Chains A and B, each alone.
Chain A
């Protein structure tokens, strides 16, 4: 069974600094997708960034980028120039190609210090 592990329950960062959230996963599959979702206090789940496992190039979306290490089964999220609006729970998620099921990690609560 696939599992997703986020080993940092809480992280904090000064405003305008850079922070990296860790995620590791366990799978025997070679073709899959990885996602980072943000959940602010409003509870709404918002997609931050996605990565296809067959792509070697790391995904980037403005201030958000990932470090995807397929052999190590690692998928970390880097947030540059942190802003107060980045404060939220961040969930890493895995989905096998062609499978409907998203497997989530337990989340990392990110606090931004003004």
Chain B
């Protein structure tokens, strides 16, 4: 199993550009998540999905969109990039949350908006 994979690893965007961060998991997890980690801070939840076709907002959803057409993939779309979106983005997946199942994280994407 590759676990959770993310592409790209690094990206520099100009203000106003758009991009999609890709996330794929091969563990057949229903739950998937997108987090952002700002310097010196913990992770904050952007969006999550409980299964294909179902998504919901987390703490900091503004400026982002997601879709979940398959169990494996959960892309994060940034529209009109702003410097405030400079961060490290992590995708994660897990089994059902009514047990102490851990979330498995991808390696992260470092995004800089200038």
Contacts and interface: CB of A to CB of B under 8 A. Distances in A.
Given A43-B107, A106-B40, A100 B97 contact: yes
Contacts of A107: 40-42
Nearest to A34: B100
Interface of B: 31, 33, 40-45, 48, 50, 58-59, 88, 90, 92, 94, 97-98, 100, 102-103, 105, 107-108, 110
A91 B43 contact: yes
Contacts of B43: 45, 91, 102, 104
A101 B40 contact: no
B97 A45 contact: no
A105 B42 CA distance: 5
Contacts of B88: 43
A110 to B, nearest CB: 15
Contacts, number: 55
Interface string A19-49: 0000000000000010100000011111100
Contacts of B41: 106-107
Contacts of A50: 100, 102
Contacts of A9: 40
Contacts of A106: 40-42
B105 A45 contact: yes
A88 interface: no
A66 to B, nearest CB: 13
A42 B100 contact: no
Contacts of B90: 45
B98 A98 contact: yes
A52 B101 CA distance: 10
B3 to A, nearest CB: 10
Contacts of A87: none
Nearest to B40: A106
Interface string A80-107: 0000000000010101011111101111
